[in-house]
Every structure is written in C-alpha cells, then in structure tokens.
Amino acid sequence: MSDPKITLAEVEQVARLARLALTDAEKEKMRRELDGILTYIDKLRAVDTEGVPPTSRAVPMTNVMREDEPKPSCPREDMLANAPDRAGELFRVPKIIEE
C-alpha cells in the first residue's frame, strides 16, 4: 500500500474550511472514500498538458454587458418568506460579536 492521499487531520481541516460538521464515523468513512477518488483522479498526471491553456467554460465568453437600467427587484417580503429566523425586515442570525 502506498501512503494515503489524504489523512484524517486533512479531512478535519477541509471540513472546517467547508463549514461541515462531521461525526467521527463520517470522518473516517470520508477519508477512505476521498482517498479512493483522489487515487483515481491521479491518472490526470499521466496527461501531458504542457502549453495547454485551461478551459473554465465550454463556450468562450467574456464581459457580457448590458445597459444599467433600474428595474423592480424581488419584493422584500418574498425574499424574507423563506427565512428560518427573522426580526422584522431582517434575517436574524446567532451572535457574531463577543460581549
């Protein structure tokens, strides 16, 4: 067996970056599965991409411009209707600033 592609500590770090709470059982399973997928993805290394430009979208397109015309946007009440928690016309969230 070669070295694992990804360690448990890396799984925990990536989960922190992704804002994903994982249980201990999920972390180990995730490590094993990501290891298998990353090993498969490693086959990309065999491809010679020297001098090949990257393609980020299939249809080349830059700077789609339009006139800056004022138009009505979605009504505030419609946008707030799905909020899990609100205070009047605001989205309410847990405290961010320490007292």
Partner 1 sequence: MLTGLSVHELAGRFRRREATPTQAARAYLDRVAALDPKVKAYMTVTADRALAQAAAADARFQSGRPLGLLDGIPLAIKDVLCTRGIRTTCSSRILENFVPPYDATVVAKLLDAGAVILGKLNMDEFAMGSSTENSAFFTTRNPWDLARVPGGSSGGAAAAVAADLAAATLGTDTGGSIRQPAAFCGRVGLKPTYGRVSRYGLVAFASSLDQVGPFGKDVRDAALVLQAIAGHDPMDSTSVDVGVPDYSAELEGGVKGLRIGIPAEYFIEGLDPEVEAAVRAAIETLRGLGAESQSVSLPHTEYGLAAYYVIAPAEASSNLARYDGVKYGLRVPGARDLIDMYSRTRGAGFGAEVKRRVMLGTYALSAGYYDAYYGKALRVRTLVQRDFQRAFERVDVIVAPTTPGVAFKMGEREDPLQMYLNDVFTIPVNLAGLPGVSIPAGFTQTGLPIGLQVIGKAFDEATVLRAARAYEGATSWHERKPELATP
Binding site for partner 1 (CB under 8 A): 6, 10-11, 14-15, 17-22, 26, 30, 33-34, 36-38, 40-47, 49, 52-59, 61, 64, 66, 74-75, 78-79, 81-85, 91, 93-96
Strand ranges in 30-87 using DSSP code E only, listed in sequence order: 86-87
| Angstrom distance (rounded) from CA 29 to CA 12 | 12
What's the closest the beta carbon of residue 89 comes to partner 1, in angstroms? 13
Minimal distance, residue 93 CB to partner 1, in Å = 6
Output 1 or 45, the one with its CB closest to partner 1. Answer: 45
State in angstroms the smallest separation of the CB of 1 from partner 1.
17
Compare residues 1 and 85 and give the one whose CB is closer to partner 1. 85
Reference 31, options 55, 48, 14; nearest CA is: 14
Place of tokens 């899990």: 84
Q: How far is CA 29 from CA 6, 19, 33, 34, in A?
A: 12, 18, 6, 9
The nearest distance, CB 17 to partner 1, in angstroms, is 5
Residues making up the chain, counted from first to last: 99
